[in-house]
Structure 1
Amino acid sequence: MSNIVTQRFVKCHNKLKEDNKVRSSRQFALSLDYLPQSLSEILKGRRDVTIELLRKSVEVYRINPVYIYTGEGPMFMSEQGGQELRVLTIVTDGQDEERIVHVPVPAQAGYAEELTDPTFIQELPTFSLPDYKYKVGTHRAFDVAGDSMEPTLFEGDKVVCSYIEPTLWESSIKDSYVYVIVTRADVVVKRAYNMIKERQCLELRSDNSYYAPYKVSLGDIREVWYVRAKISPFLPSPQNIKRYLQEEMESLKDTIQAQSRTIEALNQTIQQVLGNPLDEKKL
């Protein structure tokens, strides 16, 4: 019985034949510099696929290594936009444990431009968190700039995010969740709406209604990070909370009074249009 990786490899092979991208198993084997007889043994479940054969398959047929090893995402890597396999620079400590790289506001423009420069990433500040969920996978922290995500996120907040592989963007980016989107020129924190399948883009929305939604094409996206937590320097005192609630109540009171005046004026207008029927009844 072959292992699960081999079984997924066989499914990719069968899919290539179904789509007529390879004429036969023999052609598939020869295109990968592999013996057809050995491939036959793999297809029959008598032996497991080798690392070298997987490497060649990724290179020649763009078989998705994420699917091969995890079962997630599409079988094949898309040739469109940014959904190609990338090498992500990480920073580790003396125990080879991965650190969380923090990207402050002054470094964000450079981060978008220097993603392929390991030295730039390694010179950014790093930290660790005790929660186990931050020990699995790659994480980044980004400063929040501006007021576009208020009242959810404020300027000066930091968001801690987990990396999403480009091959998983179509299936993993969920509507209305908050993500850090790294484009070719900028780093933004927004709510994303997934339009990759239909339009090859994401629609990005702010929580502050002053800012209009906009779309960013898949080809302009370089990284996507799912926001898992925020670190906020703002801790309101009880006096501030009380004052805030009082202001909200006064604002609500003013709104209700304004609506009452509008309704009263509307009633008077209706009575005038109808010829004051109430006055006629009194006569």
Structure 2
Amino acid sequence: MNNVVSQRFIKCHNKLREEKRVRSSRAFALSLEYLPQSLSEILKGRRDVTIELLRKAVATYKINPVYIMTGDGPMFMTDETNQSFRVLTTIRTPQDDELIIHVPQPAQSSYSSDLGDPAFVQDLPTFSLPDYKYKVGTHRSFDVPGDSMEPTLFEGDKVVCSFLEPTLWESGIKDNFAYVIVTRSDVVVRRVKNLIGESKELELLPENKFYESRRVTQAELREIWYVRARITPFLPSPQNIQRYVHDEMMQLKETIAQQGQLIGKLTTAVDRLGDKK
């Protein structure tokens, strides 16, 4: 007997056939690059649907993953719902623990423009943290790009984030909290003002006053990740920093003094040349 997820998948398949959005079960299987014989086994209750088959069905036929997993909501997503929806690829250990996927800065432009290709995500580095809160839900970490969040976050810091479902954007995004915002063209870290309920927008607020705030529409948003922690490079003690700055200042003074002597010698030489004329 199929599990409940497979049963809901079969109902979606049957609905597609009833509405003649697919000609046959064979055509449905081939459109998902799946063996028709294997699909037949699922439809007969002899096999459960795979995660990869579900992913392709969601992407191709807009099957609602919330319905598949929970039974809530419509079987299929509307165009408006699908605009901001993205199938997340996760990586697990042999013990079925989900790993944290890290998105380094050089990969962020590809991450934002990628259409959910699992091969791209699976090539990214992964790690785990011992705290139990990172064992529940899906997490990503991102390099902080640029200096727009200084002095709270610095370039080179890494932020560890939890995934925020698109269905929770309007009610779950908290004003002035930090989020990683993935749009169709960029990955940024910002504090936000939630205007989704009013104008279907987010206002992105930088910490660095050199930068201006800007708004992005809900249609531009692909993923939103709530910043839960940061990993920052180790800094020397204040005493070592003071000693380093003092040494740098002394070297700078010495360099300026040497340049002043050189300029003085050049001036004297030029004056002598002028006297000879």
TM-score range relative to shorter protein? 0.5 to 0.7
- Aligned residue-pair number: 196
1:209 matches 2:209? yes
Partner of 1:91: 91
Q: Is the 8 A contact 1:84 1:167 kept in 2?
A: no
Give, in angstroms, the shift of residue 235 of structure 1.
Answer: 2.2
Q: Secondary structure at the match of 2:80?
A: coil
Mark the runs of 5 or more structure 1 residues left unpaired by the alignment: 1-29, 34-54, 244-283
Aligned match of 1:107: 107
Structure 2, gaps ≥5 residues long: 1-14, 19-53, 55-60, 244-277
Residues 84 and 223, structure 2, Cα contact 8 Å, conserved in 1: no
Supply the distance in 1 between the matched residues of 2:217 and 2:115 (Cα, whole angstroms): 19
The question of 1:65 aligning with 2:56 is answered: no
Displacement after TM superposition at 1:69 (Å): 3.8
Tell me if the contact between 2:113 and 2:185 (Cα under 8 Å) persists in the aligned partners. Answer: yes
In structure 1, what residue type is equivalent to 2:93? Answer: D
Give identity over the alignment, percent.
59
CA offset at residue 113 of structure 1?
A: 1.4
**Hey, what does 1:137 align to over in structure 2?**
137
CA distance 1:69–1:227, shift in 2 (3 Å):
same
The superposition leaves residues 88-139 of structure 1 with CA deviations (integer Å, 9 ceiling, x where unpaired) of 1001112111100000000001111124110000000000000000000000
Amino acid across the alignment from 2:135: K
Taking structure 1 as the reference length, what is the TM-score of the superposition? 0.59
Cα distance change, pair 82–152 in 1 and its aligned pair in 2 (3 A): farther
Q: Is the 8 A contact 2:163 2:224 kept in 1?
A: yes
Q: 1:185-226: per-residue Cα shift (whole Å, max 9, x none)?
A: 110000111111111110001011111100001111110000
Which aligned pairs between 1:187-198 and structure 2 lie closer than 5 A? 187-198=187-198
Q: Using the alignment, how far apart are the partners of 1:77 and 1:241 within structure 2? A: 56
Give the residue type in structure 1 aligned to 2:66. P
The answer on whether the counterparts of 2:190 and 2:206 sit within 8 Å (CA) in structure 1 is yes
In structure 2, the CA distance between the partners of 1:114 and 1:193, relative to structure 1 (3 Å rule), is same
SS of corresponding position for 1:176: coil
* Aligned match of 1:147: 147
Check if 1:229 corresponds to 2:225.
no
Hey, what's the Cα distance between the residues in 2 that align with 1:31 and 1:91?
30
Structure 1 stretches (4+) deviating beyond 4 angstroms? 30-33, 76-79, 81-85, 240-243
CA–CA separation in structure 1 for the residues paired with 2:82 and 2:175 = 19
Task: Quote how far apart the aligned CAs of 1:80 are.
Answer: 2.9
Contact conserved, 1:81 with 1:219, CA < 8 A, in 2?
no
The 3-state SS of whatever aligns with 1:147 is coil
Secondary structure class of the residue paired with 1:229: strand
